Homo-oligomer: A and B are copies of this chain.
Amino acid sequence: MTETRAAPGELRDACIEAAREAIAAHGIECLSLRDVARRLGVSHQAPYKHYASRDHLLAEVVRRCFEGFAACLDGREHFDDPVLDLDSLGRRYMEYARSHPLEYRLMFGTPWPAAAEHPGLARDAVHAFEILRKVLRRLHGDGPAQRERVDLDALFVWSTIHGLVGVLGGSCADKLALSPQVMDQAMAHIMAKVRLGLGLPG
């Protein structure tokens, strides 16, 4: 593929794919527009038509992760009962984290590139958090008096599930001699504790 044969939209998307491959292979630190161009077989200058810098490309990679993540959460099984809906959201979050480790790490485990230059990244990240806020507003109410409680509880729910992803995915957990029963029950146990923490039936 050469830059003259690729349509502008194709090259824009191809750069994202090549960047993801480069990050998966060598880590985020080694990402460069030069390497992306080499992977695509285009000139060194070609990616600059769409991305002003390596950070602009990386920001778009991360933004698309949030877009896909939010779509995955929105695609969960919905329930009229917000307690069941919170559980469905938690399960979906865990499934996404397990099946998309690279995307998850880019969103939550590595510093973002200068995000101020890419308002779309912040917007799509806020949209993903807003899904959780909405479920908690259905539990607590939607008035200004409930805003602080909703945000604090959202931090609690997010921290607990995000923490479990990190703990079970990390190197440490393997060494703790946790029984298979404990590993099997961990997610359900933690969601029950989240419900109790929120004052709901465990």
A residues with CB within 8 A of B: 27, 29-30, 107-109, 111-112, 115, 122, 125-126, 129, 147-148, 151-153, 155-156, 158-164, 166-167, 170-172, 175-179, 181-182, 185-186, 189-190, 193-194, 196-199
Contacts and interface: CB of A to CB of B under 8 A. Distances in A.
B179 A148 contact: yes
Contact of A156 (B158, B172, B189): B189
B172 A107 contact: yes
Contacts of A109: 109, 166, 170
A182 B112 contact: no
Given A126-B176, A129-B172, A167-B162, A152 B197 contact: no
Given A151-B182, A162-B163, A156 B190 contact: yes
A169 to B, nearest CB: 10
Contact of A166 (B111, B115, B163, B186): B163
13 contacts: A108-B167, A112-B171, A125-B172, A126-B176, A126-B177, A152-B185, A155-B186, A158-B163, A159-B167, A160-B160, A162-B166, A193-B198, A196-B197
Q: 4 closest A-B pairs (Cβ-Cβ)?
A: A163-B163, A159-B163, A193-B197, A112-B171
